[in-house]
Amino acid sequence: MNRVRILGIGSPSGDDQAGWLTVDALLAGGVKAGDELVIEKLDRPGAGLIPLLDNASWIILVDAMQSGGQPGWIQRYGVNDWPAYCQGLSSHGFGVLNALSLARELGSLPPRMDLYGIEIGGAMPGGNPCTEVRAATRKLADIIADELRFILQARPAAAGSGGDGNATFHKTIIRK
Amino acid sequence: MGDQKRTVSIHVPVLARVEGEGALDLRIEDGDITELRLRIFEPPRFFEKFLEGRHYTEIPDMVARICGICPVAYQVTAAQALEKLFGVELDPWARAMRRVFYCGEWIQSHSLHIHLLAAPDFFGCNSAIELAKIAPDEVRRGLRIQALGNELMELFGARSVHPVGVRIGGFHGAPPLARIREIREKLRAALPEAEALIRWTASIHVPQDDQAFVSVAMRHAHDYAIEAGAIAASDGLFIEPEDYDEHFAEQQQAHSTALFSSYRGQPYLVGPLARINLNHERLPARVKALLDETGLVLPSRNLFHSLVARAVEVLLALHEALRLLDAYRVPDSPAVPVSPRAGVATSCTEAPRGLLWHRYEMDDDGRVVNARIVPPTSQNQARIEEDLRLSLLNFGLDHADDALRLHCEKVIRNYDPCISCATHFLRMKVERG
C-alpha cells in the first residue's frame, strides 16, 4: 500500500463536470499516472466508490458541491469535517458522502483523505461549465499538483520514473 | 389498545431523487383504512415517444437509459424483440453471453437492494451506514458481491451504468479469454459468499404475513427463466409474449403517472418472489439444496420473503455465469448480420424487479413506428397498494404513526429499488381526527 489516488467525480451536466475538469487540468499540467498514482474520472460511482478506496495511502477526491456559495469557490475537507448532507440514502442517489460514510463505518478509509468541493451553479444536462468553475478547476489542479510534488519529492521511491521535477506517472483511467 | 378508535391521516408528499417519484397517502378512520394511494407523480418521461423514428441500431443504447440499475434488462429485451422480427438467429455464443450479461445485472441489483435498501429495515437501522455498525462483515460482503456484478456487466457492456455492448445481432465485441479466466476465478470465489448471504437473509427476522396473490413470471422449459421463456402465472396461465395484451391490461389512475397493470382485472406480483414461487424447481441442484436448507416453504405468500428470494437469485446468477463462462470461446464474430423488415416485435425478459415487456412496430427501413414498454414497476403498483392495505391490517392499525409509516416503507421497499429509493425520503404529515 503506497498509492495515491485522485478521483474526479462528475457528470456531463454543466458545472457538474468540475471533478472531471480538475483531472483534465492536472493531466494538462504534466501530472501523469503510474504505479504510485492512479487518476480516475468517475461518473456518480455510488457504492462503487468504496472499493476504489482500498489499498490507497492517500485519496484526493474532487466533486461538485452546492452549499449556497459563489460558483468557483473551493473548499477542502479532511476525514473528520465532511459537510452535512441534506439528501438521504437511496439506490439511485447513493452519493459520495453516503459512500464515504459507509466506508468510514467499515474501516475502509485510507490513512489520508482530502475531499475537495468546488461550488457550482447550474448542472443542466448537456450544458457547458461556467467560467468561474473552469477557473476553479485549473486553480485546484495547481494546488493538487504542488502538493503532489512536495509529498512525492519527499518520498523519492514513490515518484515514478520521471526526473523532470513534475510528478511523473504513466496511466490514467477513465471509468464510468 | 382499547376500543377507542382514532383517525390517522398519513401523507408522504414527496419521494425524491428517484426514477419513479411518488408519495403515499394513508387515512385511517374508526379503525378502517379509508384511503390508501401510492401516488407516482414523476412527470412522464416519454421514452416510448423518443424511440419513434429511431433506427433499430440506436434502440439498445437508448432504452439502456431508462434505468441506471437495470439497463441490461431493457437492452436485451429490445434486442430480442427486434431480432425475432428481423428473423435473426443469434450465434449460440451471443445467446449464452446475453444470459451471462444479464446475470451480472441480477447480481449487482439484488445485492444493492438487499444490503443498502432492504436489510437495514429489519435491524432497526435507518440506513446501510447504520447497518454497517452492527453487521460490518455482511455489508462488506454485499459490496463485494455487488462490485462483482458490476464487473460482469462491464465485461460485456464496457461500463455497468448504461452499458453499450449490446447490438441487434449480438454484441459489439467479445472479451478475450484472459479476462474471462480472471472473472471466472472471481465468480468461483464468490460462491461461498453468496451461500453465506442466503443463510444470513434466511436468518433475518421478518414480519409474518400471509396474502393471496397471483405470481407472474417467465418460465422456461429447462432453465430458471431470465432472458428466455414464456409468461406464466401461478393460476396456470402460460402464454407467449405476443399474447400479453390478451390477458394483461394497463390503466391510468388519476393519482399516478405510472400506469397500473392488472391481470384478469386483479393486481398481480412480478419480481424475485414471483419467480421463485413459480420456478424454484428450475434452480440448479446446489442452489435448490441451500434453499431447502433455509426452510422457506414455496410458494410463499409473505412478500417479506423477497429478501431471501433475491439472495437465492444472486447465487443462481453466479452459478449460471460460471457454467456458461466455463464453456467460453472467442467467437469468429460477436454479431451476425441483420436486415430489418417491417412488422411488430414483442419480447419479454425478467428484469431484476420482474417481468419487462416490450413491443415495437417497425417500418421497412428499420425505424420505430411506435413502441410500448411495460416495466415491472408499473405492473407491481396495484399489488403494492393491495399489499400495503393487507399488511397494515395484519400489522395492526393501532400502532403509532411512526411505526405505521416504517411498516409501509418496508412493504414498498420489498418490491423495487426505485421505489425503495423513494421511501427513504418519507416526509410525513399526521392529522388526527
Domain ranges of chain B: 47-379
- CATH label of the domain that carries residue A169: 3.40.50.1450
Query: Would the CB atoms of A94 and B116 count as touching at under 8 Å?
Result: yes
Residue A110, domain extent: 4-174
Q: Give the pLDDT of chain B (433 residues) as one tens digit per residue.
A: 444 566 777 665 443 223 456 678 888 888 888 988 887 765 566 788 889 999 999 999 999 988 778 899 999 999 999 999 999 999 999 999 999 999 999 999 999 989 988 899 899 888 889 999 999 999 999 999 999 999 999 999 987 778 889 999 999 999 999 999 999 999 999 999 999 999 999 999 998 889 999 999 999 999 999 999 999 999 999 999 999 999 999 887 777 667 788 999 999 999 999 999 999 999 999 999 999 999 999 999 999 999 999 999 999 999 999 999 999 999 999 999 999 999 999 999 999 999 999 999 999 999 999 999 888 888 898 999 999 999 899 898 888 888 888 888 888 888 864 543 333 333 434 343 4
Chain B residues with CB under 8 Å of a chain A CB are: 16-19, 68-69, 112-113, 116-117, 126-129, 132-133, 136, 139-140, 143-144, 146-147, 150, 159-161, 417-418, 420-422, 424-425
Contacts of A87 in chain B (CB under 8 A): 16-17, 425
Q: Quick one: closest CA in B to A107, which residue?
A: B136
For residue B345, CA distances in Å to B99, B169, B247, B259, B362 come to 20, 15, 18, 21, 8
Distance from CA of A122 to the nearest CA of B (A): 17
Q: Does A80 touch chain B (CB under 8 A)?
A: no
Angle at B177 between CA B171 and CA B183, to 5 degrees: 90
Number of domains in chain A: 1
Can you tell me the distance from the alpha carbon of B433 to that of A90, in angstroms, rounded to the nearest whole number?
A: 33
Query: Would the CB atoms of B136 and A44 count as touching at under 8 Å?
Result: no
Of residues A87, A106, A176, nearest to B140 (C-beta):
A106
C-alpha cell at A96: 459520495
Can you tell me the distance from the alpha carbon of B282 to that of B223, in angstroms, rounded to the nearest whole number?
A: 6
Up-side HSE of residue B24: CA atoms within 13 Å toward CB?
Answer: 28
Q: Quick one: closest CA in A to B154, which residue?
A: A176
Question: What is the CATH T-level fold of the domain B47-379, as seen in this structure?
Answer: Cytochrome-c3 Hydrogenase; chain B (1.10.645)
Can you tell me the distance from the alpha carbon of B169 to that of A61, in angstroms, rounded to the nearest whole number?
A: 41
Q: Quick one: closest CA in B to A100, which residue?
A: B129
Query: Would the CB atoms of B425 and A88 count as touching at under 8 Å?
Result: yes
Can you tell me the distance from the alpha carbon of A151 to that of A159, in angstroms, rounded to the nearest whole number?
A: 9
For residue A73, CA distances in Å to A68, B223, B303 come to 10, 56, 49
